[in-house]
Amino acid sequence: MSENIRPCRCLLAQTGKEETAADIKARIERLSEKERADSELYKKRLEVCTACDFLADGTCLKCGCYPEFRAAFAKNRCPAKKW
Ligand code: SF4
């Protein structure tokens, strides 16, 4: 019997890639208030990502980005137009 195994639908912070997650977090903290999405918008975007089939092991397979970083910029958009 074959099993259907897919990568985890996790954000970077849940993958155990601690060094990369810390680097992304530090980069987000350096964004200006004008550049950065507000916390409510950021949270909503990441909720969409965690339900998305393109998310695999902390990376968006649609564009190769880390959704936590992409979603942090107010002006950014989802490459699949989901947010
Ligand atoms: S396609 Fe959009 S919603 Fe899906 S993981 Fe990538 S950024 Fe998130």
Distance from C-alpha of 39 to C-alpha of 16, rounded to nearest angstrom:
23
Q: Which residue do the tokens 């074959």 mark?
A: 2
pTM for the model:
0.89
Distance from C-alpha of 72 to C-alpha of 61, rounded to nearest angstrom:
18
Q: Specify the pLDDT at position 4.
A: 66
1 alpha carbon – ligand 1 mean position (Å): 32
Average pLDDT over residues 65-82: 98
Mutate to test the pocket of ligand 1, among 10, 14, 48, 81 (most ligand atoms within 8 A of CB): 48
List pLDDT tens digits, range 5-47.
Answer: 667 888 988 888 899 999 999 999 999 999 999 999 999 999 9
pLDDT(54) > 70: yes
Which residue minimizes the CA distance to atom 2 of ligand 1? 78
Q: Specify the pLDDT at position 30.
A: 97
Distance from C-alpha of 83 to C-alpha of 67, rounded to nearest angstrom:
11
How confident is residue 3, by pLDDT bands cut at 50, 70 and 90? low
CA dihedral 71, 74, 77, 83 (to 10 degrees): 70
Rounded to a whole number of angstroms, the distance between the first and last alpha carbons of the chain is 38
